Amino acid sequence: MATDRRLYIGPRLRRLRRNLGLTQADMAGDLDVSPSYIALLERNNRPLTADLLVRLAQTYNVDMAALAGNAGADEAARLQAVLKDPLFADIDRAALEVSDVVTNHPGITEALLRLYTTYQEEQLALADRGAETGGPGGEGAEASDPVAESRRFLAARRNSFPTLDDAAERLAQAVSAHDNITGYLKARHDLRVRRLPSSVMVGSMRRLDRHRREILLDDALDGASQAFQLALQLAYLEMGAEIDAVLAAGSFASESGERLTRRALASYAGAALLMPYSAFARAVEARRYDVEALARQFGCSFEQTAHRLTTLQKPGQERVPFFFIRVDPAGNVSKRLDGAGFPFARHGGGCPLWSVHYAFRTPREIVTQWLELPDGQRFFSIARTVTAGGGAFGSPRVERAIALGCAAEHAHRLVYTQGQPGPDEAAATPIGVTCRLCQRTECSARSEPPIGRQILPDDIRRTSLPFGFSDT
């Protein structure tokens, strides 16, 4: 082989290194060159010399001709296959363009292939969800996931419904003339409230008995939960038209999705009755978003108050935009609301490094945390456990954790950041949305490899992390 031949084998060299389970620094040490030189070779910014080609073949026992010949053929073939997708059928491209991209821009090639892999996996996921209902993944997929359908409806409106807030505020004023909701229900609807043992309620927390003109409540509920159930019943009785008007603005593929959304809107209205927008918006500023203090002021639970904080985006009276998530000890998400632009994962679990997942270690204590996403966005989060049920001996108790957070730019308005470093100085925990979408390779908590990343073999080198990846 002529020694003056200019040989560019960047993608092939990268694949060799990955297959051997080596980093650029490892290979540089083996070949007695600098890591930066290996990086330049892999980006095709430098040609491979004959001397280094011989050292590669001897060091790693590979065939020299196979290494030097037809460089980039595999990447070119993969890219050609991608471009045959009907998605690109109308794009004119010259025959040599693919090989030019592969040879001169291996990083772009890798990015395109990884992106297409992600696209394919999403298409397969849609097809799988559609198969559950016999459809191809469109309407059938929507129908199979009413929870996601309801969440999308709320998220698209940032969980803010000013018409419900206005109606609830007017109703709250009418209720105040009768001292409380119980008095108003009796005066306006001739309904009295009775509290009965769980054994009599037979699995119901609240039931409207129209025949006896009674609202029955499980007496195992705490005071805040009883108040909310009465407010919820009143919302169904008097705000049905407003709730239906909001619901009519959506498009639902399933009856279950529509019913879940209607239930969420009724809960929104019930909370707005207990915490009327104007009064609550003034209080949050006065108390610097202290959730526990606000809960005491309005006679609500910690979770109810945190939930209400996500709704304060009424035009002209906006407050700090928050996101909210509720999880169980197994990491299952039972509720999430976003008014702060937080990129929740649509499927699967969240990041185990987020404090909401270890709030169970310190029950009822508020845990604060600065979070940093892979794209550099920073958020401030508080997390605490909450309990549902268990109001009487032997009754089931469910322990969950909730997190409430906002973008870093708003964090200074919260009492929880008082005396702490600002967002630029604070040490933030690097988290991802979910393992499959997080490209942080140096994470010991990772449970799955990220989409598009190739796992290194451990024949020669085993990393201390759950998975080993190439460093580029």
Q: Mind listing the pLDDT tens digit for each residue in 296-334?
A: 999 999 999 999 999 998 888 999 999 999 999 988 888
Q: Domain boundary residue among 280, 297, 318?
A: 318
Asked, for residue 447, whether it belongs to a domain, the answer is: no
Handedness of CA 397, 398, 399, 403 (dihedral sign): negative
Distances (CA, A) of 369 to 112, 225, 358: 35, 29, 12
Burial of 286 (0-12, 13-18, 19+ CB in 10 A): exposed
Residue 380: φ, ψ to 5°: -115, 135
Residue 238 amino acid letter = E
Overall number of domains in the chain: 2
Which among 318, 343, 362 is the end of a domain?
Answer: 318
* Amino acid sitting at position 121: E
**Which residues lie across from 367 on neighbouring strands?**
383
Are 314 and 327 within one domain? no
Q: Where are the alpha helices (DSSP H) in 144-290?
A: 146-156, 162-176, 181-189, 198-201, 223-238, 240-248, 255-274, 277-286
Measure the CA–CA gap between 420 and 413, rounded to whole angstroms.
Answer: 12
Which two structure tokens, joined as six digits, stand for 204?
């119901």
Span 205-257, pLDDT tens digits: 999 999 999 999 999 999 999 999 999 999 999 999 999 999 988 888 889 99
Q: Match 């650029």 to its residue by tokens.
A: 24
Q: Report helix, strand or coil for 455.
A: strand
Reported residue count of the chain is: 472
Are 411 and 361 in the same domain? yes
> Are 183 and 286 in the same domain?
yes
Around Cβ 89, how many Cβ atoms within 10 Å?
Answer: 8
In a 13 Å sphere around the CA of 274, the CA atoms on its Cβ side amount to 30
Residue 117, judged by CB atoms within 10 A of its CB (0-12, 13-18, 19+), counts as middle
Cα–Cα dist 173/273, whole Å: 9
15 in a domain, yes or no?
Answer: no
Whole-angstrom distance, CA of residue 191 vs CA of residue 285: 37
User: DSSP string covering 90-105, please?
Assistant: T----TTHHHHHHHH-
Dihedral, CA of residue 63, residue 66, residue 68 and residue 69, to nearest 10: 160
Weakest mean pLDDT among 20-24, 50-54, 73-77, 170-174: 73-77
199 and 344 fall within a common domain: no
In a domain, residue 356? The reply is yes
Question: Locate tokens 């906002």: which residue?
Answer: 406
Same domain (yes/no): 331, 262: no
Examine residue 202 and state whether it is found in any structural domain, yes or no: yes
| 336 plus 385 within the same structural domain | yes
429 and 312 fall within a common domain: no
Q: Which pLDDT band holds residue 142 (cuts at 50, 70, 90)?
A: very low
Establish if 163 belongs to a structural domain: yes
Residue 327 and residue 238 share a domain: no
pLDDT digits 0-9 by tens, 25-67? 989 999 999 999 999 988 888 888 888 989 998 898 887 776 7
53 falls within a domain: no
For residue 232, give every residue at least 6 positions away whose Cβ sits within 8 Å of its Cβ, in sequence order, or none: 206, 266, 267, 269, 270
Q: Which of 50, 54, 41 is nearest to 13 (CA)?
A: 41
What's the pLDDT at 355?
A: 93
Range of the domain at 280: 147-318
Task: Note whether 335 and 428 are same-domain residues.
Answer: yes
Rounded CA Rg of the chain: 29
What does the pLDDT read at residue 225? 94
pLDDT of residue 415: 97
Six token digits for residue 369: 């945390």
For the residues 278-298, what does the mean pLDDT come to? 97
CA–CA separation, 416 vs 2, rounded Å?
69
Whether residues 371 and 396 fall in one domain: yes
Report the candidate in 460, 300, 438, 466 with the shortest Cα–Cα distance to residue 372.
438
In a domain, 465, yes or no: no
Contact 158, 338 (CB under 8 A): yes
Q: Which of 302, 318, 334 is the last residue of a domain?
A: 318
Report yes or no on 74 lying in a domain: no
Q: What is the largest CA-CA distance in the chain?
A: 101
Q: Identify the pLDDT of residue 126.
A: 59
| 182 and 303 part of one domain | yes
| C-alpha angle 394-201-272 in degrees, rounded to nearest 5 | 100
For 405, the enclosing helix (H) or strand (E) is: strand 397-407
Contacts of 410 (CB under 8 A, 6+ apart): 320, 321, 380
Q: Which two tokens stand for residue 246?
A: 């909001």
Pairing of strands 214-218, 192-196: parallel
Q: Say yes or no: 304 and 350 in one domain.
A: no
Mean pLDDT of 82-95: 77
| Rounded-to-integer distance, Cα 205 and Cα 219, Å | 8
Res. 394 pLDDT band, cuts 50 70 90: low
pTM to 2 decimal places: 0.73
| Whether pLDDT at 120 is above 60 | yes
Q: Measure the CA–CA gap between 195 and 198, rounded to whole angstroms.
A: 9
d(CA 466, CA 443): 8
